Structure 1
């Protein structure tokens, strides 16, 4: 192979010294002789060379390069030898003596001799036997090249792409190292099943492509199931596959797109499955992409193509117009009218829903302001996407638009869909609280169709539920749906929540629902969604609806009046007519002798959770008592004036202003009572309750900090209180190190049960580890970390410090004395109030006061 010169001896000695000190592998290629020399440690790697050899000719090296990668390597060395290229980075595969495929990554530089000709190439090697680590971009290029060769040769077969399901969740739950191991397991499972590593390509972080020439569809299924079995118990995988020759495509990259589209379809349809390419599904996807472009263009052009329709909502008692729901419509220049069920999901996926949603809110409020000139109490409902609710600025943006409209908050209801992830009560209640303080109502749309149970109504503070059309449709013929709606209304009434039945389309449905007494109706029976100009024309008048209702009731009872259906016949009909426009005050009529309830309006039925009050005793219904009330006001009642008194009703937990009067009707003495709820109407969200609880907890420790002579004991008590409040793993105090200026010591620490203390490992923390924290602390800002992973790239030293302690979430607040940071309190892995640093800040301010006291006494 030629004689090694003295200069070569020096170079070879140098690369061996480099390899010994770094552990890397090096090569030296002499351009004139065509010999490649490798560092001595390369001999032991994956049996690349015959035993004892550490050099070969360029032709010998090329002979073990795979056919797919050989043209690329030939071109590289031709350019190096011509001098047209000096630096390079290349990935390729070779076959070792055992027939195994080995991945080579090489980076190097060509050096010139005195005459300017290429003299030698010095390069560093990375050698791997697993197909799951090389550069993804290279693999796409190699995959395209391999597919092109098969297509030119008219080889039938399949391209199969497989990916790990829920890798992000796996990383969050078990750590990124575990997730990387899962990806490696998939690669190894593919190698074991397919056998030929040259057919396997790593195309992105969690997905691998396999080329299966000569395979049939059944073979692809067998391959996929075999790999599934190998990974069972560790993870699930999804797959997408496309035949190599069935579709006439201009280039191989289109086949890759087809397979990737099939993989996406498998994941979207439930994961852990294999989908073959469907031209129809792919066409739908392309159509969705075109629609997204149209939507983006419409938003850029000032929401051109978007419009609003309005559907009336009417009161069930009187059929008076309550308000309307604003419904978004879109007209595409390319496709014409697009159904909301098609374009709204794309708005959400693309993030455009936020801008469009604010435009809808602004337009709907403006229309409401116009209609209020005719209907002073007109009310507007606007839908809001879950994606909008999780934008940090949504709270203030809604309030800003409301203020600009000039309308009071109680003119607006925000509708959210129950199928959203509404279980994040804390986040949503924080937003809802701010809106409700301005009078804005919160409604849950499509109630009964989502994932949550009825119990969350008590956790998520809402004002209205809208029972979905799927329950209302044909309700007169379904005892099950009738009973289900009745239970929903009863639960809502017990929680003082308004109920709207939507999708009411026939008189028969209306008649069945009237027996259940919801608050509002909405549906095509009253009006179809229409543009503002034709809104009044489409809406049935109150008189038409009353006639419709009375006709339906007459048909049910076989009479032209309600006499046979009423509890006390004509009296009830007269009273219902007289009280048709009653307010939300509770109105009741009771027999003064028998104490039987003759009438109780809907407000009273909702408060006391009562549907059928016929024959019930007033003291039982209103007080939960078995005998008449000792303080019954009957003896004070007169016909010509009201008897006014106050009562705190422990049975229903309300405070009333009561107005009672004697009413003579058909020879009967009745007590007519109007109960005005004067309980302080204060909305207390979950977050507010937590703060109240915290305030009560802190009150005891304020005294401890002020009077406790043992300073250390006082600080321990404070940290314990904050740690228990946040339900955290640890709460701790850091102070400047007295021995190393600029460094920080963990001086106090509280740990939850079974949590390992970290204090002894957190002494003398260097300034660079807390550089970001100090910058924010000096601005009087807190550190709020909801997910540790993003810090791995942006602040690797901070990430490493926190990761080693098992921290995924964190709150840290500064202790400031005259704007100088004198310490900070930290809370690790809080399980509640994770978005709220105010509690920790309160304790920090108390500690600063105590620090000053300690300093004054020294």
Structure 2
């Protein structure tokens, strides 16, 4: 065992190895190939013990088959003396059989004779969340969810305040992303100063911050928000530069029956109302005061229960897409529907905005994509040119496992990538342009087509045609419902359709409800139609009866 009774049993190893649940320390005597691992790693991955002979082989058996050879090759170079630094990301299987993404970093320490002596490093498990956001030093969303859970268990009344920074992309564009990160950190520090020791401040996703205030009257929240507005406008400094910060905010009253996920979704809803309808002024979601707000909170709870119960009540309908030239079927858009025992059939316009703000929407999005691809396979088999459109929201696109999930679902279903079109919903405007471009580039590298949904709403800009590489612009039905009489919308559609045509981008018009509308818009450069004139959304069985005659 060589140094097992010496360096490998160093007290400092014991001290450092227990400081984090998600970062594991390992140290290997390269002459004996005996490795010691953190106790947390032994427990999480189900290793035979804290000390292991040939631990590299044991660890390799946990690594995903698609990643394993990269690991083996890199470790071989370490032990052959060809390199001293190990730095890899890969997937590893825990004791429950689930794969988690890990980042492994290590260094070779050489002895007095210059030969490799000790290999020491850390493995960061991205499947377990730390309590603190590394960039800002604030508590993170996982700590927030736990604290809300604790408040409910203790029967405490509280108010959650969710604050979002408006137009933060302008700061990144002007000063750069590194400077932008420092601005976010400074914003967090200003909030900590305002709230003092009475309440925690949390860094949520993106450019959002939260605080949970106990035993606080709503009137005080309005006063507190005005103070925050002032401090953000005048007292955020980085490198001596004052950065005026514009914010929006939503508040949720936590009283009675609630859970942490419903609270988070309600707060996001309130923040969106603040940003888009209140011009940044505080919007309070009071579930114990307004019937409409109470219904939203109850809907969120019912939606979450449905998702946890194997997506009970959720199903997909498909609305056909037709060529404007031949009026032949060219594809369909998959649309989510939900029926609840308690609420009956709930309209998409009511439940989807709530879902898109819920953290669990990523998993639901994966379910939608998998179900849509599986149900549409027969259409593709019978019509090789058939294109399936599936919506993807900000919550999905911004998730760190989005790319991996798309690749996994495509592999699982065997659906041809060139028959899939991802429609980016209006919520994706929240993403930074560079990030959005990178995600679109990834999807296109797989052969997937890209469409911009609801063009003409807040997401829209002619810059999209030059900034984003997309195949299709889908005009929001708000632009087409009165197309025969609204001269302003006629001019807009004509100009953008002509511009798109020059750039070889297709234009799809939604909301086609009559033959007169279709005949009228033929004067523009339109590629495809979608609307009730052709068909309402129907389940796949009915869709195939209509278009495959099965």
Q: How does 1:765-844 map to 2 (within 5 A)?
A: none
1:698-747 Cα distance to aligned partner (Å, 9 max, x none): xxxxxxxxxxxxxxxxxxxxxxxxxxxxxxxxxxxxxxxxxxxxxxxxxx
- Report if the CA contact (8 A) 2:321-2:530 is conserved: yes
How far 1:336 sits from its partner (Å)? 1.4
How far 1:313 sits from its partner (Å)? 0.5
Three-state SS of the structure 1 residue aligned to 2:469 is coil
Among 495, 505, 520, which residue is 2:503 paired with? 495
2:436 equivalent to 1:440: no
Which residue does 2:338 correspond to in 1? 330
Which residue does 1:343 correspond to in 2? 351
2:475 equivalent to 1:474: no
> 2:521, 2:485 → 1: CA distance?
12
Q: How many residue pairs were aligned?
A: 362
> 1:539, 1:280 → 2: CA distance?
49
Three-state SS of the structure 1 residue aligned to 2:484 is helix
Among 403, 410, 416, which residue is 2:418 paired with? 410
- Report if the CA contact (8 A) 1:499-1:519 is conserved: yes
Three-state SS of the structure 2 residue aligned to 1:477 is coil
The structure showing larger relative contact order (alpha-carbon pairs under 8 Å, at least 6 residues apart) is 2
> 2:517, 2:504 → 1: CA distance?
25
Which residue does 1:531 correspond to in 2? 539
How far 1:185 sits from its partner (Å)? 5.2
Which residue does 1:302 correspond to in 2? 310
Which residue does 1:506 correspond to in 2? 514
2:409 equivalent to 1:401: yes
Distance 1:183 1:493, change over 3 A: same
Among 362, 366, 370, which residue is 1:362 paired with? 370
- Report if the CA contact (8 A) 1:322-1:379 is conserved: yes
Q: How does 1:684-833 map to 2 (within 5 A)?
A: none
2:234 equivalent to 1:233: yes
> 1:300, 1:184 → 2: CA distance?
39
Which residue does 2:198 correspond to in 1? 202
When normalised by structure 1's length, the TM-score is 0.36
- Report if the CA contact (8 A) 1:310-1:325 is conserved: yes
2:328 equivalent to 1:320: yes
Q: How does 1:351-390 map to 2 (within 5 A)?
A: 351-390=359-398
Among 274, 291, 307, which residue is 1:269 paired with? 274
Three-state SS of the structure 2 residue aligned to 1:296 is helix
> 1:508, 1:229 → 2: CA distance?
54
> 1:236, 1:431 → 2: CA distance?
27
Three-state SS of the structure 2 residue aligned to 1:476 is coil
- Report if the CA contact (8 A) 1:171-1:179 is conserved: no
Distance 1:211 1:288, change over 3 A: closer
> 2:186, 2:256 → 1: CA distance?
40
- Report if the CA contact (8 A) 2:501-2:525 is conserved: no
Distance 1:530 1:209, change over 3 A: closer
Give the gaps of 5 or more residues in structure 2: 1-143, 169-178, 202-210, 236-244
Larger radius of gyration between Structure 1 and Structure 2: 1
Distance 1:286 1:495, change over 3 A: same
> 2:441, 2:249 → 1: CA distance?
45
> 1:372, 1:498 → 2: CA distance?
21
> 2:272, 2:445 → 1: CA distance?
42
How far 1:417 sits from its partner (Å)? 1.6
How far 1:268 sits from its partner (Å)? 4.7
> 2:412, 2:394 → 1: CA distance?
24
How far 1:434 sits from its partner (Å)? 4.0
Tell me how large the CA RMSD over aligned residues is. 4.8
Distance 1:513 1:536, change over 3 A: farther
Three-state SS of the structure 2 residue aligned to 1:350 is coil
How far 1:521 sits from its partner (Å)? 0.4
How far 1:324 sits from its partner (Å)? 0.9
When normalised by structure 2's length, the TM-score is 0.54
> 2:305, 2:481 → 1: CA distance?
38
> 2:356, 2:267 → 1: CA distance?
22
Three-state SS of the structure 2 residue aligned to 1:342 is helix
Distance 1:181 1:500, change over 3 A: closer
Give the gaps of 5 or more residues in structure 1: 1-135, 149-158, 188-200, 244-248, 542-858
- Report if the CA contact (8 A) 2:165-2:248 is conserved: no
1:62-95 Cα distance to aligned partner (Å, 9 max, x none): xxxxxxxxxxxxxxxxxxxxxxxxxxxxxxxxxx
Q: How does 1:497-576 map to 2 (within 5 A)?
A: 497-535=505-543
Distance 1:477 1:456, change over 3 A: same
How far 1:360 sits from its partner (Å)? 1.9
- Report if the CA contact (8 A) 1:316-1:518 is conserved: yes
